[in-house]
Amino acid sequence: MINIRVSEEKDKKRIVDLLNQEGIRDINLNYKNLNNSMVVCDGGEVIGYTDYNEIEDESTGVIETLIIKKEFQGQNIGDGLIKALLNLADKRRIKKVYVGANNKNSLFLEKVGLTKRKLHVSEGVVKHILKGKESRKQEDIEVFEAILPDFFNGACKGRG
């Protein structure tokens, strides 16, 4: 049975194993990160993970990681996971959530209901989006944005 929930301390090893399988090795799973993350489990197996970092004093979050095990992709599990994370962020009074755009995630994020736009926001968001990447002009950075709670008024109505 598929279950989406907030990550817990007991999930750490299974999350790290999933991330390592997908080539992600530099993630910090401290209490704050776990508290701002969600897992998808199939029985006892973690098959998906996502998290966001809150930008202090801005009511803004940046999704850092979104991973679904390859054999479970294409089954709308990622859609449910990202919407659950946005719901969690909304409950915690986050007003905007951003995800860096790239060729791998653009079609998926559009289907989920996020809006693609050029980044014209604070340096805090820029630093999170560009973490470890070359510095570019702020206007050149494309992101996907969810404005909360308005996102749920449009995104959950089905998009053929």
Is residue 36 a part of any domain in this protein?
yes
What band does 45 get if pLDDT is binned at 50, 70 and 90?
very high
For 82-128, what is each residue's pLDDT tens digit?
Answer: 999 999 999 999 999 999 888 888 999 999 999 998 875 556 787 77
Q: Domain of 64: which CATH number?
A: 3.40.630.30
pLDDT of residue 159: 45
Looking at the 3D structure of the chain, how many domains does it have? 1
Is residue 15 a part of any domain in this protein?
yes
Question: What pTM value is reported for the model?
Answer: 0.88
The mean pLDDT value for 70-91 works out to 96
Asked if 116 and 69 touch (Cβ cutoff 8 Å), the reply is no
User: Which of 6-15, 122-131, 139-148: highest mean pLDDT?
Assistant: 6-15
- Please give the full DSSP string across 47-96, using - where no structure is assigned: EEEEEEEEETTTTEEEEEEEEE-GGGTTSSHHHHHHHHHHHHHHHTT--E
pLDDT of residue 98: 94
Is residue 81 a part of any domain in this protein?
yes
Is residue 160 a part of any domain in this protein?
no
pLDDT of residue 134: 58
* Size (the chain), residues: 160
Q: Which domain holds residue 137?
A: 2-155
Instruction: Tell me how far the alpha carbon of residue 56 is from its chain's centroid.
Output: 17
Peptide linkage before 149 cis (omega within 30 of 0): yes
